[in-house]
Structure 1
Amino acid sequence: MEASYKHSYKTGENLLNSLSVYNVGYQKCDPEYQWGPGVRDHYCIHHILSGSGCYCTGTVSKHLEEGDTFILYPGVELRYQADADKPWEYAWAGFMGADAASLIRNTEFSRETPYILKGRIPTEKIRDGLERIYNAKGNTYEAAVAMTGEMYSLLAVFMHYAEHEEKEKAIQLTYAEKAESYIETNYSYPITVEEIASYVGISRSHLFRSFQNYMNRSPKEYLTEYRIKQACRLLRETDLSVSAIAYSVGFENNLYFSKAFRKQKGESPSEYRKSRV
């Protein structure tokens, strides 16, 4: 059996706001190699070059093989594992940014079906796109721009081959989806619901109704939940003080942050950190 390998590149500080490649690479996995269960903080497309494996989330379990493509959604817990007898080899590209969510909605990927099976899109187009991203890698701002350009081109391939009906449905982004994208991009700033509504281009009351229908919660509740989620990550992964973390995720009042955190998690930020370190 061919020896396993991993060639990867992770970008540094040259991240662009609209869309930016976070990492890119190739990997030939060992038998039964597994990632997860875990959560990514960015989107990541994997295209299977050879072999096979399993992709699993709380609602999806799918055996995939050569020519299939799957995506990791930020914030979704999942695991993926190579088969024992024929472990997969894949190429991947991870990305993030304000445009990422709306671009993915224009493809056949969805949270319910986070994969595209072989035959839907010419394999050579996906492989070529991922190779172009990898070859554009570098630690300069110019390289970051080049990688982003190639990422847009690859996503355009996925959009081009999306079924017409699904594509049209995805283009009709709801106000709530636009607000969600704005929150996830700007949560670290002291943004308000009025600012979110202004960005979307509707009134606060209209945004509230749209958000309740789509997310089953108000924009303010979603904003607070998303900030707490990011605070949990910083509590686990950094040594920043609680007050510094509060400020980093958009809370200007440390006391309000602690109350909001306890309301959601049932414990204080310090207790949360202590129990998970």
Structure 2
Amino acid sequence: MDGIETIEKAETSRHSYDRFPKNYLKHMKNIRSEHWYDVFPFSLALWPQNYSETERMGSWWRDRCNYPLLTLELILDGELVYEQEGIVHHLHQGDLYFSHPGNTIRIKNAPCKYVHQLQLCIAGSLLKLLLETLDLKKTYLMKFRDFTALEERYREFAELLGKKEPGSEALTSAKTYELIAWLAESKRELSLADLPPPLTHSIRNMQAELSHNFSIPELAAMSNTSKATLNRLFRKYLNTSPQAYLNSLRMENAKNLIRRGNLSFKEIAEQLGFRNSLYFSTSFKKYTGVAPSEFRKECGTSE
């Protein structure tokens, strides 16, 4: 496949380019394409630069090398194959793929040799922090049984980018944040969808009250199951204990609160149910390998 004559095409920076066969465009039908560039200051923070709807047919491939944007690609029909960081994913209808900034991604036809997809490219200095904070940094694929709501969000961006109405810039940027936050919440819901009800119920109780020191008997009673069964479910499906899982929820939440930089360590400890800031600091260092103060320095925030 790589023996086919290819061209190199500069993208948004001198370090980014695409590789593809010379006849690549013959396999693509552009249904709709919208863009809105350089909308200061919103495009510096978080901004949807490009929207496209395409169909691709036949045998083709494309390498997107060191692309600087987050690209969200929704499959409406057909199939597509993606490879990123050595991981290959075969996408079908309702699948959403994350092409992360700075990565090199190979995209190619699947055996059916047809795909109809929507694509949204997002830029901005807040993007990296947002993906990390919302636990989407290593997310590559999400599978939606019903992707109607997601498709509607894409269509809304198409209209916003197409009209380019003065005064809609703040709304457009805010819609971008809403989309990413909605995807993060959808990821959490999808991850719980196939778990046994007692386990799902316990996790949701923990997430709703991180400051509460749940005991196993308490969680078991709230989930209408026995202590032994609840322990077994946590071990079988999550490879951990209920207490360790609660601690991980608290620690991940603590990392996000520290990144924001608007709370003291004492306030964070109180919010997450630790009896004092010293105990919180000890637990945080044990979980992350660094003290909260060091983590805050690494994030570039100050108490």
TM-score range, shorter chain: 0.5 to 0.7
- Between the aligned partners of 1:51 and 1:108, the Cα distance in structure 2 is 29
The one-letter amino acid of 1:136's match is: L
What is the aligned partner in structure 1 of residue 155 from structure 2? 131
Q: How does 1:61-76 map to 2 (within 5 A)?
A: 61-76=88-103
- Offset, 1:85: 2.6
- Between the aligned partners of 1:210 and 1:66, the Cα distance in structure 2 is 41
- Between the aligned partners of 1:69 and 1:75, the Cα distance in structure 2 is 19
- Is the CA contact (8 Å cut-off) linking 2:142 and 2:187 kept in structure 1? no
What is the aligned partner in structure 2 of residue 148 from structure 1? 173
Of the three residues 24, 29, 39, the one matched with 1:4 is 29
Higher share in strand: 2
- Between the aligned partners of 1:108 and 1:86, the Cα distance in structure 2 is 33
For residues 131 and 173 of structure 1, do their structure 2 counterparts lie closer, same or farther at Cα, with a shift above 3 Å needed? farther
Q: Secondary structure at the match of 2:68?
A: coil
Of the three residues 121, 125, 146, the one matched with 1:98 is 125
For residues 146 and 66 of structure 1, do their structure 2 counterparts lie closer, same or farther at Cα, with a shift above 3 Å needed? same
- Is the CA contact (8 Å cut-off) linking 2:73 and 2:119 kept in structure 1? yes
- Between the aligned partners of 1:92 and 1:172, the Cα distance in structure 2 is 33
Aligned length: 186
- Is the CA contact (8 Å cut-off) linking 2:90 and 2:110 kept in structure 1? no
Q: Secondary structure at the match of 1:66?
A: coil
Of the three residues 32, 35, 48, the one matched with 2:62 is 35
- Between the aligned partners of 2:182 and 2:29, the Cα distance in structure 1 is 29
For residues 163 and 142 of structure 1, do their structure 2 counterparts lie closer, same or farther at Cα, with a shift above 3 Å needed? same
Let me know the Cα RMSD of the aligned residues. Answer: 3.6
1:121-175 C-alpha deviation (Å, 9 max, x unpaired): x41111011111111114454343332232223223212223277x957654469
For residues 12 and 110 of structure 1, do their structure 2 counterparts lie closer, same or farther at Cα, with a shift above 3 Å needed? closer
- Between the aligned partners of 1:88 and 1:171, the Cα distance in structure 2 is 39
For residues 5 and 71 of structure 1, do their structure 2 counterparts lie closer, same or farther at Cα, with a shift above 3 Å needed? same
- Is the CA contact (8 Å cut-off) linking 1:44 and 1:72 kept in structure 2? yes
- Between the aligned partners of 1:170 and 1:128, the Cα distance in structure 2 is 31
- Offset, 1:55: 0.7
Q: Is the counterpart of residue 60 in structure 1 residue 84 in structure 2?
A: no
- Is the CA contact (8 Å cut-off) linking 1:32 and 1:87 kept in structure 2? no
What is the aligned partner in structure 2 of residue 13 from structure 1? 38
For residues 117 and 109 of structure 1, do their structure 2 counterparts lie closer, same or farther at Cα, with a shift above 3 Å needed? farther
- Is the CA contact (8 Å cut-off) linking 1:43 and 1:71 kept in structure 2? yes
The one-letter amino acid of 2:53's match is: Y
Q: How does 1:122-201 map to 2 (within 5 A)?
A: 122-137=146-161, 138-163=163-188, 168=249, 171-173=253-255
For residues 94 and 141 of structure 1, do their structure 2 counterparts lie closer, same or farther at Cα, with a shift above 3 Å needed? farther
The unaligned stretches of length 5 or more in structure 1 are 180-204, 220-277
Q: Secondary structure at the match of 2:167?
A: helix
- Between the aligned partners of 1:32 and 1:173, the Cα distance in structure 2 is 45
- Between the aligned partners of 2:175 and 2:164, the Cα distance in structure 1 is 16
In the superposition, the TM-score normalised over structure 2's length comes to: 0.51
Q: Is the counterpart of residue 115 in structure 1 residue 141 in structure 2?
A: yes
Q: How does 1:227-266 map to 2 (within 5 A)?
A: none
